[in-house]
Amino acid sequence: MHRIVFLDRATIAPQITLRAPRFAHELITYDHTRPDEVVARLAGASIAIINKVTLRADALERLPDLKLIAVAATGTDNIDLQACASRGIVVSNIRNYAVHTVPEHTFALIFALRRSICAYRDAVRAGRWQEAGQFCFFDHPIRDLAGSTLGVIGDGVLGQAVAAMGRALGMRVLFAGFKGQTGQGALYTPFEQTLAQSDVLTLHCPLLPTTRNMIGAAEFAQMRRRPLLINTARGGLVDEAAVGPALAAGQISGAAFDVVTTEPPPADHPFMALLDRPDFILTPHVAWASDEAQQGLADQLVDNIEAFVRGEPANVVTA
């Protein structure tokens, strides 16, 4: 019988059903697990389910019974994949489950900034409408998306879905080529050219050594059209300390982030000083988290576990 331990069940909403795997098993769940609790809680487990809990080589070498790490997410940067490979531990992840929720959240942020939704809501709350004394007031900019240029960094399933939404709204879409590279074909616009031509820049790429801080002070200086910057992908793609100065200098018209390098961000994180700005939005890493997407994730998670037990591992991640 397999012993299955879910170390951070609270990373999936409580209303989401995690169906019982169709084989003999014991399932133990914990809402949260601290780093110093990982080894003790996984002792004797053949299958670990994790979302954001870290599993490094020093912990893995103390877990001789562990055979599968089923990740309840797409990203696996919290796992030492090489150590897993050397110990014969299979790692599986979740794929293509957020094809609607992330693009929809991305455009919710774009609309909110492009039409100053939050700024006008706050102004009404503060009594500005009564002060204006007429049927409307014009304290904040309102811009259409139709006819503007959407720069997409990352051409995977999410980037493609965002691009399709942009085209449906009458936007011109550019897919950025890899930073510092040319000659990638007609489908791609050079990275620097994308920065210069876009009215909205949206990130949908993984966090890799080559993409860490891919947008910083030098890149903000190249943004000729003062675009909106949207990041629903990974914290660390943008130099977060450079966002405030870029907003203050007018190099970008607004910024919205759903991801941060450290989550939750500490009180002294640069973004925390921007929360009262009308041109900045921070959401708590929930772009992926519609009920529909979470249920799809939970179903695929159990599918992955059942496939492994059948001897047919699915969605395997390699080092």
Spell out the long-range contacts of 113-117 with Cβ–Cβ below 8 A and sequence spacing 24 or more: 113/228, 113/253, 113/254, 113/255, 113/256, 113/279, 113/281, 114/142, 114/143, 114/144, 114/145, 114/200, 114/228, 114/254, 115/142, 115/143, 116/140, 116/141, 116/142, 116/278
Kindly name the residue from 105, 114, 204, 234 that is annotated as catalytic.
234
State yes or no: is 263 an active-site residue.
Answer: yes
97, 303 Cβ separation under 8 angstroms: no
69, 88 Cβ separation under 8 angstroms: no
State yes or no: is 285 an active-site residue.
Answer: yes
74, 301 Cβ separation under 8 angstroms: no
Among 245, 126, 254, CA closest to 201? 254
Kindly name the residue from 37, 61, 263, 292 that is annotated as catalytic.
263
Kindly name the residue from 95, 226, 285, 306 that is annotated as catalytic.
285
Quote the tokens at residue 294.
């979470």
Q: Which residues are catalytic?
A: 234, 263, 285
